[in-house]
Amino acid sequence: MRILHLDAGREMRGGQWQVLRLIEGLDGAGVQSTLLAPSRVPLYEAVRKRGWRVEDWGLAKARRLARNHDVVHAHDARGHTLGALTGGPRLVVSRRVAFVPGRSPVSRWKYARAARYIAVSEFVKSVLIEAGVPEEKVSVVYDGVPVLEPGPTGGTALVLSPASADPQKGAELAGKAAQLAGVTLEFSADLERDLPRAALLLYVTYSEGLGSGALLAMSAGVPVVASRVGGLAEVIRHGENGMLADNAPEAIAAAMRQVLDHPALAQRMGTAARQTVLEQFTVDRMVRRTMEVYRKVLD
């Protein structure tokens, strides 16, 4: 099986990490991958450094490469457009965002080109169906994250939040909530590095397909306080393996204090969160479920 991956992202965000982990897992399963991405972006460089095949972005190249691959897998909106323009019949599109697709003639044409959609959550699947994508063309494949080693219990009051310039990620709201809760909030650009020192991950967002940053914290046994939006409710069971809060500073602050003021509760939630990742959100599971989608397209 040969897969051509399309991703135009210029930052190493959640979607690009999923592409990298998928290519690595496919390689381990004997599946050949080629990534088409803009040169010198972080994902391009990460794939190149690991010795996997990567080519520079372009329509002519995509059309040529598509003829030599069994499946074209688009991982973002620009990848979806490029995949649709290649004209190949075996286009798989990953959909990670929670907003409803446009309904212009061009958008309807593009969405009709895919043989199959991979939705990152049941919530995103429902958004695609609402937009007119037939339900039988949508498969849910949850993100997979590495299982991190838990940090030392106790002795830390560090509250982390993922660093992002995207206004939909709610950094200003997170800051207001942290101030109300009386805690210092540290924005992290490298969660894998910083999570072992954290007592809590604050994951505030106005729109979310699933929340791979929250999953990463859960894998390390770090309690998560997250916005009650999108696919996050499929990950977090309120009061059991994390906390969900409405997007109001007072509600978020109260959830943070509930975790920070009750160490035994925080430890129970962290343990349950880690178990949730082990059962549902590992990289191996994500790779296996994605390969099942490829096989359906090839049947």
Q: What is the pLDDT along the chain (299 residues), one digit of tens a residue?
A: 999 999 999 999 889 999 999 999 999 999 999 999 999 999 999 999 999 999 999 999 999 999 999 999 999 999 999 999 998 779 999 999 988 888 888 888 999 999 999 999 999 999 999 999 999 999 999 999 999 988 765 556 789 999 988 888 889 999 999 999 999 999 998 998 999 889 999 999 999 999 999 999 999 999 999 999 999 999 999 999 999 999 999 999 999 999 999 999 999 999 999 999 999 999 999 999 999 999 999 98
Residue at token pair 């590992």: 282
Compute the distance between CA of residue 263 and CA of residue 201 in angstroms, rounded to an integer: 15
**Neighbour tally for 131: CB within 10 Å:** 16
Contact at 8 Å (CB) between 111 and 101? Answer: yes
- For residue 43, what pLDDT is reported? 97
Compute the distance between CA of residue 36 and CA of residue 40 in angstroms, rounded to an integer: 12
Contact at 8 Å (CB) between 201 and 230? Answer: no
256-260: Cβ within 8 A, 24+ apart: 256/159, 256/177, 256/178, 256/181, 256/183, 256/200, 256/202, 256/225, 257/181, 257/182, 259/199, 259/200, 259/223, 259/225, 260/157, 260/159, 260/181, 260/183, 260/199, 260/200
**Neighbour tally for 193: CB within 10 Å:** 9
**pTM, two decimal places:** 0.92
Backbone angles phi, psi at 55, to 5 degrees: -130, 155
Residue at token pair 């999923």: 18
Compute the distance between CA of residue 35 and CA of residue 23 in angstroms, rounded to an integer: 9
Compute the distance between CA of residue 165 and CA of residue 291 in angstroms, rounded to an integer: 33
- For residue 194, what pLDDT is reported? 92
Give all domains of the chain, ordered by start, each with its CATH number.
Answer: 2-143+282-298 (3.40.50.2000), 158-280 (3.40.50.2000)
- For residue 186, what pLDDT is reported? 95
- For residue 164, what pLDDT is reported? 86
Exposure string (b/e) for 62-76, b if CB count within 10 Å is 16 or more?
A: beebbeebbbbbbbb
- For residue 152, what pLDDT is reported? 65
Phi-psi map region of 121: left, alpha, beta (phi>0 left; psi -120 to 50 alpha): beta
- The token duo for 285 is 């599971």
